[in-house]
Amino acid sequence: MRRITLLLLAGILLSLCACRSDFETVPSTGDLSFSKDTVYLDTVFTNLSSSTYTLKVYNHSKNDINIPLIKFAKGFNSKYRMSVDGSQGNQGKMFENITLLAKDSLYIFIETTVESDNTTPTEFLYTDQIEFDGGANLQKVELVTLIQDAILLYPNRNADGTIETLPIGNEKIKGFYLDKNDPIHGNELLFTNKKAYVIYGYATVPEGETVTFESGSRVYFHADSGLIVPKNSSIHINGTTSTSDKLENEVIFSSDRQQPDFNYIPGQWGTIWLQNGSTNNAIQNLTLKNATIGLFIEGNNGTTASIKNTQIYNCTHYGIQAKNALIEGQNIIINYTGQASLACTYGGNYKFTHCTFNNDWSSPEQVALYISNYSVGATPEVKALSEATFNNCIIYGSYSNEMLLDKKTGAAFEYQFNNCLIKFSNTKNADYQFDTDPIHYNAIILNKDPKFFNPNINNFNIDDTSSAFAKGNSVYLIPLDILGITRTLPPDLGAYQSKPFPK
């Protein structure tokens, strides 16, 4: 009897389930809702896949519906591809009879890869539409992508299938040598402004050669990538002053992740590494963003660098890390770095004029400026700091002490700050006697707000209400500011000539 009762209950449950099936749907009537009317896939480079973008489709009705067709307007010729709730459909282009339950939603994931086309301009929009249903019930979502034609530089594969590497000390890294007679790209030591460049691995200048970047050139680095300038080689970055916010004449080094969400994320690529013995390095009008270390300059064998009108932002360690190098810097801005915006370490010779070193990294351990005369290791080795001079500069940031002088006995430690605005609250140490030590400090403005326009977006303009306004010494004048604007007398501190902020 008990078995019969159980069988009867099972039959009733089965009959109830049969009365309501997920496959009992009504046709879609064109009343779908979407999370976006237009999906912007941002800038992608030719021959490289974009990131994946999401579109959510909603059924707000009380009925389970059947969407007879989801496809691209350009059909199988579309350069987009999609998946619908994990299904790849027909080549990622067409999907038939998609069920969407009442009060439910589904996800569509969209990507694109656009092949290089020499008949197109260097930048262009590629568009398509995702179509739902058809006929009278047709609904569309627009797709828009900015495609930038690019030259891809990357390590080759060896005969055994392994990827080309470079020896760095006792280790090897993925990398390759730039070839001035490359059969595909021509002279890889000359970066022009005709196309963008995307670099995978560490591009390396052959010894004795010079790599040159023309005004307006754009270089995008993949993760764990960068540029190496070895002994007896040089880098010349020949950016010029731009006339608009597009920085059309700047040389720009950045990550190959071009989506807006990645604009301010540090550590997306490696570094520009000027190794020991590289020489006559000249950097002008460079904007560098989102690296691990912006410029890593080693100088045990006399590495020299001239750096002018340069902006470095959002680096996980340093904006500029110098080791016993010889650097002259003018109109430099560095911000948002995990350890120090400028680190002059292991001695060396440095002179910076009209520079803005700021650090708004969210840690009390960071500083805007770090100076030392030794190398870190089990047994620290000291080297002479023969000069570290700062004229008409701003040294500021989000914490109370934005400067660290870290010296050890056994080697010279020569430094001087002239007409600088400095944020520093702990003045008990003998090295920080800003008012009573004229050998090292002259005309210091201490702990006054420079009133930058918007440091959150790396805008360090000032106006006439700034504590840095007209506080510079004309003896150290650089006639033009970082934007090419003529400085008035007495000059403002930092890299910018003051101007009214936009209303």
Pick from 110-119, 261-270, 327-336: least confident: 110-119
Residue at a domain's end among 83, 116, 148: 148
Predicted local confidence at residue 18, as pLDDT: 44
Question: Mean of the pLDDT values across residues 116-136?
Answer: 72
Domain membership flag for residue 134: yes
Query: How large is the average pLDDT for residues 419-442?
Result: 94
Domain termination site, one of 148, 172, 189: 148
Residues 472 and 438 reside in one and the same domain? yes
Residue 479 scores a pLDDT above 90: yes
Residue 16: which pLDDT band, with cuts at 50, 70 and 90?
Answer: very low
Q: Domain boundary residue among 124, 148, 172? A: 148
SS3 sequence, 433-482? CCCCCCCCEECCEECCCCCCCEHHHCECCCCCCCCCCCCCCHHHCCCECC
Does residue 54 register a pLDDT over 80?
yes
Could you tell me if 63 and 107 lie in one domain? Answer: yes
- 387 and 401 belong to one structural domain: yes
Give the pLDDT confidence of 220-264 residue by residue, as tens digits: 998 999 999 999 999 999 999 998 888 999 999 999 887 777 889
Same domain, residue pair 135 and 196: no
For residue 340, being part of any structural domain is answered with: yes
Residue 17 lies in a domain: no
Any domain includes 294: yes
pLDDT tens for residues 290-327? Answer: 999 999 999 866 678 999 999 999 999 999 999 999 99
Q: Amino acid letter at 84?
A: V
Q: Tell me: the pLDDT tens digits for 143-166?
A: 988 777 788 888 887 877 788 888
Q: Does a structural domain hold residue 277?
A: yes
Residues 471 and 335 in one domain: yes
Question: How big, in percent rounded to 5, are the helix, strand and coil portions of the chain?
Answer: 5, 45, 50
Whether residue 174 sits in one domain with residue 115: no
Q: Percent of the chain beyond pLDDT 90? A: 70
265 domain-assigned:
yes
- 238 by DSSP, 3-state: which? strand
Average pLDDT of the chain, as a whole number: 90
pLDDT value of position 127: 86
Report pLDDT digits (tens) over 176-222.
999 999 998 999 999 999 989 989 899 999 999 999 999 999 999 98
- Structural domain boundaries enclosing 104: 26-148
Does 19 reside within a domain? Answer: no
pLDDT category of residue 503 using cuts at 50, 70 and 90: low
In this structure, the strands spanning 394-397 and 53-59 are unpaired
- CATH code, domain with 134: 2.60.40.10
Residues 144, 159 share a domain: no
pTM of the model: 0.81
Number of separate domains in the chain: 2
pLDDT for the residue numbered 245: 83
Share of the chain above pLDDT 70, in %: 92
Q: Are 168 and 139 contained in the same domain?
A: no
Let me know whether 108 and 238 are in one domain.
no
Q: Based on the domain organization, do 192 and 325 belong to the same domain?
A: yes
Task: Tell me if 12 is assigned to some domain.
Answer: no
Indicate whether 182 and 53 sit together in one domain: no
| 142 shares a domain with 163 | no
Question: Is 388 in contact with 350 (CB distance < 8 Å)?
Answer: yes
